[in-house]
Amino acid sequence: MSRFFSEKFNSLDPYVPGEQPRDMKYVKLNTNESPYPPSPEVLASMSPENAGKLRLYPDPESAALKDAIGKAEGLGRENVYVANGSDDILNFAFMAFSKPGGKVYFPDLTYGFYPVFAALHGLEAVEIPVKEDFSIDPADYFGADGMVVIANPNAPTGRILQLDDIRKILENNRDNVVLIDEAYVDFGAESAVCLTGEYDNLLVCRTYSKSRSMAGARLGYALGDKALIADLETLKFSTNPYNINILTQLAGIAAMESEEYYRDRCLAIQATREKTAAELIKRGFTVIPSMANFIFVKSDRISGEDLYRGLRERGVLIRHFDKERIKDYNRVTIGTDEEMDIFLCCVDEMLKGASK
Ligand code: PMP
């Protein structure tokens, strides 16, 4: 830290992304990327002709991209906000929708960036314990005095909240923004987007990074009441108006025109998820029911940390969280069938002779 760094950031503990090692080729099951390539339409949008457009600034309104997303979601351009990955949206939402020094509510087991954004914006993070089975009790969020943020499906557990429960949280927080982070919604969960017309306090956040195989493009979007979207635009135009590069805007439009391609890939991932879960259960693992493109698993024979390390040595990366309540668990991203076979093979090798 330099002597110039503002003291208001002294205690900031930055988010640590999943590792992206370059030393060898790994089976990468640690950052919830899609194992499938972007659609042919997205690949075609990366043409030399389009790359030539990099000379110019991109459209700061991202109008064509917003229209494509709006069309797919049945909403108008004014209900869509687009950003450089959904992390960018979360950052702005924490900044925009909390009182100075106020509170923000989220589960104790959830996306590790929420506490970082709370600290960054000087907010008190109220972490509500999830239940023993890692499910969320909606009543815990009724009458909160600050923004509520819930990932649905939740990460790293994969557990979902039903739409009725989200509605109850909205009903009981009329004066707070309720942000539903749907990064993983396309793998079998129900979206809350249909409630945006009814609740002006609902902001739904999505990403192209998972179900649309575009983590490297950095594109996310938020859907909600036009006043909420206008607030996010105000922050964008006060920081970085050209927040999405030209090629990503074009790729984002192309992806919205490839719905069938992505639906099929999401279904394939769900089928692989169920198959992998069944195989792990056969091997004595606890597998939390997941509606995401990952599973949260615990072995009865090997510790979470040993499993993580042993797999890494064998060229398979999974995610282990150094947090007391979940230290026996690992989060395993669903890859292709072939990748999951390699994963299971390595697990078998490690279980041979393992004793906890
Ligand atoms: N929300 C959740 C719950 C996530 O797991 C992630 C991915 N790490 C994000 C948001 C951010 O995704 P991105 O910035 O790639 O859109």
Q: Is 220 in the pocket of ligand 1 (CB under 6 A)?
A: yes
Which pLDDT band holds residue 63 (cuts at 50, 70, 90)? very high
Confidence check: pLDDT of 66 > 70:
yes
Residue-level pLDDT at 10: 87
Q: What's the average model confidence in pLDDT over 200-217?
A: 98
If you average pLDDT over residues 189-218, what whole number do you get?
A: 98
Q: Which of 106, 150, 181 to mutate to test the pocket of ligand 1 (most atoms within 8 A of CB)?
A: 181
Query: Would strands 80-83 and 220-224 be described as parallel, antiparallel, or unpaired?
Result: antiparallel
Percent of the chain with pLDDT over 70: 99
Q: Return the minimum-mean-pLDDT range out of 30-34, 232-236, 260-264, 351-355.
A: 351-355
Backbone angles phi, psi at 320, to 5 degrees: -115, 135
Encoded amino acid at 182, one letter: E
Q: Report the distance separating Cα 275 and Cα 296, nearest Å.
A: 14
| 114 pLDDT above the threshold of 70 | yes
pLDDT at res. 355: 60
Kindly report whether the global pTM for this prediction surpasses the value 0.85.
Answer: yes
For ligand 1, what atom is nearest to the CA of residue 110?
Answer: 3
E runs forming strands in 178-277:
178-181, 202-207, 220-224
CB of 205 shorter than 6 A to ligand 1? no
